[in-house]
Structure 1
Amino acid sequence: MKRFFHMCWNNARKTTCITLGLLSCLALFSFWSVANAEEQETSSLAPAAVQRFAEQQAVALGSVDTKAHWKNADLDFYPLGPGTHSWLVQAEFEGKPIGYMIITATEQGQMMLSEYGHGEQSPYNNELLGQALDRQHVNLEALLAGGGELHLGYTLPLLAYWKVEQPNHPALYIDATNGDVLPSEFLNLLEADSKQTSVSITDLSTTPSLLVDPLHLRPVFNPADNLLWITSKPVAADRAKDVIQHGENQEIVFSAGDRNVVYGGPLPVSGYQLWHTDQVAESILYVALGGKSSIQRFVPLSTLQQDGHFYIVNP
């Protein structure tokens, strides 16, 4: 049993299992055993190349904040469907969660840090899952006992979700970060496209050196509290980086329009962090989204600009 469920498993062994929402620890343990039994037959849930890549990112994150203990963290890996092109990496130090990463293999076989976060939060929130299942009148223990399955899913650019498969029923998709039920037609198409994509990971013998700047955080807010940003023009793509880095006194919203369902958005920009490599002259800007009513997630600016725009909230 990996650390992602250590709280539940350890408490179950002590016969003092804590209930997370409507999810009992027994149900969570059953889920991980059933949904990932095939992967757990091996000693690792990620290829060696993915593990090495994750270790490099953790060292880079640890170089800027030694108190966060990224350099000495224990990393646990969880394959994310469909097609296992991504992995959730939970980082812990001395038994306490310190952050997470999601690593994705691109169609070209290269690995990328799709997103990451600091602290105890994870994109896959068990309590929100329990609440969502309760609203849908689904009992997890009964589901698993009856041959149902529960899977962790992830699709670019930013959608972390649970897939609930019930015998003789259509699959149920739940946004892992907020508990919302997602449109099944949309997810079915995304999964079909992902399963058709074959990825062969390229294990490079030499990797670029990584340098990460300190975190720059901004006050968090709720975009719904002031909807005037909807009437403003989006920030020009070539100005977005400058606005995010230097607009300290401005509230900035990221919105992907019709694709907000993939982001759980619109979302507030709550900070940023710059990454540098010795092979790329230009730095990579990771934008922090959320942090007030949702988990704060650091995502590459280039990823966000593929689907959405940034808006400055008018006073």
Structure 2
Amino acid sequence: MKKRPRSKRRNIGHCLSVFLSMIICFALLSIWPTTHAAAPTNRFAPASVEQFAQLQVSALGTSNPDWLAAKLEYYPLGPGNHGWFVHASIQDKPVGYMIISTTPQGELLLSEYGQGEQALYNNELLGQALERQGLNMKILQTAGDKITRRYAAPLLAYWKVERVNHPAMYIDASNGDLLPADRLERVETGSGTKFFNLKELQQQIAIPEPTRFHTSPVILQPAFDPSSQLTWLISEPLQPSQVKQQLQQNHSEALVFSAEEWNLFYGGPLPVSGYQIWSIASSTFDLYVGLGGFNSTQRFIPLNKLLHDGHFYKINP
């Protein structure tokens, strides 16, 4: 008779133990997805690329605080190109973007950036471009066709659309124009088709020194269509020494940038629509020039890069 209460107590204790264990399990399961979702998801970029991106964000944030509050998402641009498209947003509203590339020496470079809601690799622009070709993006994705972001030097951002039993299609990511397939096929063949190894890159790319950059406010100029104002075609190109002065002192004079034989890769000729100064300790480090913004996304490119690839012209020589 005395053993039964003990057995009963043991059963009650066992039941309570099981019940508490179930409560703890359910609590952990309810917490885990939230914790997991908040964990970093930048699996597509090495740590050195993320650190470099944060340095650029800090610089851009000195003139535009939205960058400092933005969430960064990384998308590899490949295969064959060691680069990343970095999308910045606040509560799903675009703040800007960056293209981070690697040089042959393994150094990181801010190839270009944009600010505001206009961004490269915009899904809405891609959808419109596909519709002009009689295609539907949702149907393509459902059918298992592949759409990838690509980037070709010197400055061509594009989508590659690969469909089963169809030739590949190439779409300019800055304006939605269809690009010549034969030219892009040669570009991709020349750059190789081997996907880069993130672990190898993490070892090769040096982690950047934490240099403190500052940026000036963006100086904007009215965008226009160079094809409707052709007087620049009969003018002599500005000398490199004249370009910076022209940009900073003669805001009323419209400029066109033409990369000549590289215009396919720039989507140009393009209007000069602004500039921004990058500095270190009050001394000018670089000047990024805003191109486009009329029929295409406005893109900020290093002035030295532009001077290497093409020429600047006055609209009214």
> TM-score surpassing 0.5?
yes
TM-superposed deviation, 1:84: 4.4
> Alpha carbons of 1:94 and 1:136: their partners in 2 closer, same or farther (altered >3 Å)?
closer
Q: Distance in 1 between matches of 2:86 and 2:249?
A: 31
Aligned pairs (5 A) from 1:123-202:
123-195=120-192, 200=201, 201-202=204-205
Displacement of 1:76 after TM fit? 0.8
Q: Is residue 307 from structure 1 mapped to residue 309 from structure 2 by the alignment? A: yes
CA contact (8 A) 2:51 2:207 kept: no
| 1:272 matched residue in structure 2 | 275
- RMSD of the alignment, in Å? 2.2
The 1:170/1:228 distance shift into structure 2, 3 A limit, reads same
Change (3 A) 1:98 1:134: same
Residue number among 229, 252, 256 corresponding to 1:253 in the alignment: 256
What is the deviation of 1:205?
A: 5.7
Counting only pairs closer than 5 Å after superposition, residues 1-315 of structure 1 correspond to structure 2 as 44-66=43-65, 69-195=66-192, 200=201, 201-204=204-207, 206-277=209-280, 283-314=285-316
* Whole-angstrom distance in 2 between the partners of 1:162 and 1:124: 7
Q: Secondary structure at the match of 1:99?
A: strand
Secondary structure at the aligned position of 2:268 is classed as coil
C-alpha separation in 2, matches of 1:187 and 1:83? 13
What secondary structure sits across from 1:64 in the alignment?
A: coil
1:39 aligned residue: none
2:278–2:284 Cα contact (<8 Å) kept: no
* Other structure's SS at 2:192 match: helix
**Secondary structure in structure 1 of the residue aligned to 2:263:** helix
Gaps of 5+ in 1: 1-41
Instruction: Indicate the SS of the match to 1:127.
Output: helix
Question: Cα gap change, 1:164/1:251 in structure 2, threshold over 3 Å: closer, same or farther?
Answer: same
Consecutive aligned runs of 4 or more in structure 1 exceeding 6 Å deviation: 196-199
User: What is the match of residue 20 of structure 1?
Assistant: none
**Distance in 2 of aligned mates of 1:192 and 1:50:** 26
Residues 224 and 196 (structure 1 numbering): CA distance in 2 closer, same or farther, change over 3 Å? same
Superposed displacement of residue 282, structure 1:
5.3
Q: What letter is aligned with 1:93? A: I
Residues 174, 95 of structure 1: alpha-carbon distance in 2 compared, 3 angstrom cutoff: closer
Q: Distance in 2 between matches of 1:129 and 1:96?
A: 18
Tell me the CA shift for residue 206 of structure 1.
Answer: 2.6
Residue identity (%): 48
Cα distance, 1:209 vs structure 2: 2.0
1:106-128 deviations in whole A, cap 9, x for unaligned? 11111111111111111112222
- Asked whether the equivalents of residues 157 and 304 of structure 1 are also in contact (C-alpha less than 8 Å), the reply is no
- Which segments of 5 or more consecutive residues in structure 2 lack a partner in the other structure? 1-40
Residues 257 and 272, structure 2, Cα contact 8 Å, conserved in 1: yes
Larger radius of gyration: 2
Q: CA deviation at 1:157?
A: 2.3
For 1:186 and 1:281, the matched residues in 2 are separated by: 42
Q: Which amino acid aligns with 1:60?
A: A
Query: What is the TM-score normalised by the length of structure 1?
Result: 0.79
Instruction: Tell me the secondary structure at the aligned position of residue 292 of structure 1.
Output: coil
Secondary structure at the counterpart of residue 222 of structure 2: coil
SS of the residue 1:193 aligns to: helix
Secondary structure class of the residue paired with 2:56 = helix
Describe the shift of the 1:205–1:305 C-alpha distance in structure 2 as closer, same or farther (beyond 3 A): closer
Q: Which amino acid aligns with 1:272?
A: Y
Q: Which amino acid aligns with 1:252?
A: L
Query: What CA distance in whole angstroms lies between the structure 2 residues aligned with 1:253 and 1:236?
Result: 14
Alpha-carbon distance in 1 for matches of 2:250, 2:157: 29
Letter paired with 1:57: Q
The answer to whether the 8 A contact 1:212-1:275 is kept is: yes
Query: Take 1:193 and 1:287, find their aligned partners in 2: how far apart are those partners?
Result: 29
CA contact (8 A) 1:82 1:154 kept: no
Structure-1 separation of matches of 2:42 and 2:113: 24
